[in-house]
A = this chain, B = another copy of it.
Amino acid sequence: MATKKITSLEVAKLAGVSQSAVSRVFTPGASVSKKTNEKVRKASSKLGYRPNILARSLITGKSRIIGLVVAHLDNYFYPEALELLSNALQKKGYHVLVFMVAKTAGNIDDIVDEILDYQVDGIILASVSMSSNLASRCTAAGVPVILFNRTQDDDRLSVVTSDNFLGGKQVAQFLIAGGHKRIAYIAGWEGASTQRDRESGFVDELKKQGRSLYTREVGNFIQDDARQAARKMFTNDEIPDAVFVASDDMAFAVMDVIRFELGLKIPEHVSVVGYDDVPIASWPAYDLTTIRQPANRMVAETVSIILESIEDQDTKPRRIQIDGPLIMRGSTRISSNASGENE
């Protein structure tokens, strides 16, 4: 009921000093004598005073809020990243304001406007891209923008991804080395750079080794779509003997279809490879061979870039690619006659 807010002025009165003195006590690096400091601290804790971050932001121009836009919280890679991100930023005195966006990402721009309304110090777009026009707006407002797990050709934006092209390539090499002949691909949402890069790395390498895709379907990074894609792909006369699925999340759905709907065995009848290495991939029920996206390192880079950009407005946007290893597990077979296929 009694909604009373303790302000610096009241603390000042109790401590017998000026409001500025109180402010200085709570401003690191300001000039305050030991005695004043003590008086103020005492009065503050007596009244339960804490500085109002919003009022402070108004004058400093820094809110210590980072806006985060996420679409796919259902793909476990993102909650994991969010947790790491939030923890890392928290340690630095920042906090994350979350903005969810429809998976069928449309009007990101409106959302970003909302974010800017909060005077955030920086913006992280997880698996989402923004219009060039809006990028200008952010730049003009001095708000650094970082794309996380998504690329875009705009040198005003920083980008942190895994090396998706290399990842795709590694999968191709691995599958060919494993002696697979009919190699298929289930794509993610084709608007996503990660999808495109994974696929072109994959297909490029196949070509380089004189192969080509046996079948291709689209799963849009959505489990239901992936299931559909799998059903279509595996009801032909001659099914693929290996399939690379553009994300672990979809791969699980695909494996379920292969095993429980079609009664096929993994990897005996078909090898499955995913992408991300989310925790579930290592659960024995799936035991999925996959490319690891090192969420921790990606997050660490993201945080360091954003903090640097905030502290020094003149920091140039950076583009970081972190490569992750192929994690070999039981969902893929390794034939013994795998050899001699290097160009």
Contacts and interface: CB of A to CB of B under 8 A. Distances in A.
B140 A2 contact: yes
Contact of A279 (B55, B74, B255): B74
A202 to B, nearest CB: 26
A74 B79 contact: yes
B95 A95 contact: no
Interface in A85-144: 86-87, 90, 95-100, 113-114, 116-119, 137, 139-142
A339 to B, nearest CB: 32
Number of copies of this chain that the complex holds: 2
Interface string A46-82: 0010111111011000010100000001101011101
A313 B3 CA distance: 9
A314 interface: yes
B313 A284 contact: no
Nearest to A68: B98
Contacts of A53: 117-119
A244 interface: no
A221 interface: no
A1 B142 CA distance: 6
A119 to B, nearest CB: 5
Given A118-B53, A285-B285, A83 B100 contact: yes
A207 interface: no
Contacts of A63: 54
A253 B284 CA distance: 9
Most buried by B among A48, A95, A99, A113: A95
Interface of A: 1-5, 48, 50-55, 57-58, 63, 65, 73-74, 76, 78-80, 82-83, 86-87, 90, 95-100, 113-114, 116-119, 137, 139-142, 252-253, 255-256, 259-260, 279-280, 283-286, 313-314
Q: Which 5 A-B pairs have the closest CB atoms?
A: A3-B142, A79-B79, A260-B284, A73-B83, A86-B100
